[in-house]
Amino acid sequence: MLTDLGKIIDPYDHFGIVRNLDGTVTRYLNFPKVEASPVASHGEPVVSKDLTLNPKNKTRVRIYMPTSKLCSSNDDDTRIPIIIYFAGSGWFLLIWDTNIVHSQCSALTQEVHAIVVNVDYRLAPENRLPVQYEDAMDAVLWVREQALDPNGEQWIREYGDISRCYLHGCSNGGNMAFVTALEATRKELEPLRIAGSIMNQPLFSGMERTNSEMQSCDDPVLPLCALDMFWELALPEGEDRDIWYCNPMVEGPHTSAISKLCRCLVIGFTEDPTMDRLQEFVAMLVNHRVPIEAQFNYTGFHGIDMVDPTRANAIVEMAKEFINKP
């Protein structure tokens, strides 16, 4: 892509990937990984463990638990909320068990005092949409199964409050939180209840350009060509960016379910190329009478919480306030 400044941006090179002839990609951008720590040591406030979600699809979850809850007295039967978390990967980055996501989930667990279920969903382009939404719903159903099964996963079964489940995602993970919340309105999940959705810079697009997108052609973090590449890698062959889960503003099978959504928190930053779409998205939720809170910051870019600990902590505090609000 040639920007107004005359600089050619290769979106694949920008994110360290190379397309292969068989439709897969080779990923050269490697983030440091962190192993789960199921046993607390050295006063660590959070413990974690990896479990299989769907063996057929080779998906996993990493569960995070506040150490203080495990160490509480036996007469403390207070259950804590469950956050089902979808990390931002642009649909294609290997990020589930990296130090960035591990730190985000640990902070959520500690500050909100909640169980966090971090979902290892399948990646594009090897697995195109809508399989990521299927993996997300697998996680919701898995949490319900563990809570109700006498032999289910101990942390969820003994400490989790499945009537207070929250969907939380960043970037494309925020998109997944929205679509999963819609799908949940069509399923019999009781006694599990989706109490709310937290969408941090949810990723949407469309065929008609917005002003904020047009101004991002040479954006150093997320140039417009890279944003298009995200969807080029993820959408089913033959679909364009006006399919409803990419552009929720269009009429589609989702429209009738929007008004059934529970509380939503939408977080955005004005330097994000998708900012105009986020504002349209919030207005759409308001028009459908969805209980909505919007937190838009005047400074910050897409994915800023992945590189700025101060902003990451601020987003955790927003989630904490949202979840703990009566």
Angle of helix 309-324 versus helix 99-112 axis, rounded to 10:
40
Say how many C-beta atoms besides its own lie within 10 A of residue 20's C-beta.
11
Residue 272 among the catalytic residues: yes
User: Which DSSP letter does residue 306 get?
Assistant: G
Say how many C-beta atoms besides its own lie within 10 A of residue 284's C-beta.
15
SS3 213: helix
Distance CA 217, CA 295 (A): 25
Query: Which is nearest to 108 in space by CA: 53, 173, 153?
Result: 173
Angle of helix 131-148 versus helix 172-184 axis, rounded to 10:
60
Q: Tell me which of 48, 135, 219, 302 is the catalytic residue.
A: 302
Q: Tell me which of 171, 197, 212, 216 is the catalytic residue.
A: 171
Q: Tell me which of 120, 135, 161, 272 is the catalytic residue.
A: 272
Helices vs strands, H then E, count in the chain: 10, 10
SS3 301: coil
Place of tokens 């005047």: 298
Which whole-number Å values give the CA distances from 173 to 197, 203, 225, in the listed order? Answer: 11, 8, 20
Which whole-number Å values give the CA distances from 274 to 161, 208, 213, 318, in the listed order? Answer: 34, 12, 6, 20
Which whole-number Å values give the CA distances from 106 to 34, 182, 190, 289, in the listed order? Answer: 12, 27, 28, 33
Residue 302 among the catalytic residues: yes
Annotated catalytic sites, by residue?
171, 272, 302
